[in-house]
Amino acid sequence: MPERGQEASFIQRATSSLERQQWLEFAVEALRERFADAGYRIPREIRFAIGWPKRATTCGAVGECWATSASSDQHAELFISPELTEGARILDVLAHELVHATVGTGAGHKKPFRDCALKIGLVGPMRSTMAGPKFRAWADALMQRIGPYPAGYLVDVKKQGTRLLKCECSTCGYTVRITRKWFTLAGPPICPTDRIALVADGGLKTQAAA
């Protein structure tokens, strides 16, 4: 059983996560009013969080709405990318995903989605909407009430691909590129013209020649 001081310390550590989720809760409740003013009702059976969309790596998605049919308890599940850096941008992406939850994910980005998105103030290609002037003004006013987005963002560092070694013939300039692995295991390639070993960039040698 944690002592009182330990319990207070735990609450303090948990505050950052709770603040972020609470900010999203406030934002969604405000968006419910905006949707209602436009003649739409956001369903109650939704959940939302900051998290990586499944399609982030394949198409760069910054938001995602999972259909109720994919949920064991019939809730739409919304995810907003942790790469987003600005509260205003998070709000318009959240609004985009709430449009999906409201009109149904089966509508895709066709007319039902478009009609709703335009009415709440989103603009641009429907697959990648942005805040229009009215939505931006509304978002700025909202953040005056609920405060700026209370969390940082993540930077996804791309894994560097295999670097190929450049190997060149010292006589004729014939050039090829191979992986360091095969250069080490099999030695440098042979020039097809001069029949001599190619020289790797930086004078790298095989283990046998080192």
**Domains of the chain: which residue ranges?**
4-146, 164-203
Is the confidence at residue 29, as pLDDT, over 50?
Answer: yes
Confidence (pLDDT) at 11: 43
Does the structure show a pLDDT above 90 at 10?
Answer: no
- The lowest-confidence range among 99-103, 119-123, 129-133, 186-190 is 186-190
* pLDDT > 90? residue 4: no
Closest CA to 177 of 205, 200, 209, 207: 200
**pLDDT of 15 above 60:** yes
Closest to 93 measured CA to CA, from 60, 115, 70, 71: 60
Residue 210 has pLDDT above 80, yes or no: no
Q: Is the dihedral of CA 104, 47, 98, 51 positive or negative?
A: negative
pLDDT tens for 122-171 read 999 999 999 999 999 999 999 999 999 999 999 876 665 667 888 888 88
pLDDT of residue 202: 65
Average per-residue pLDDT for the chain: 87
φ, ψ of residue 192 to 5 degrees: the values are: -70, -15
Residues 70-84 pLDDT 10s: 999 999 999 999 999
**In the prediction, which pLDDT does 160 show?**
54
Which has more pLDDT, 24 or 162?
24
Which two structure tokens, joined as six digits, stand for 176? 């090829």
Q: pTM for this one?
A: 0.70
In the predicted model, is pLDDT for residue 24 greater than 90? yes
Split at pLDDT 50, 70, 90, the class of 8 is: very low
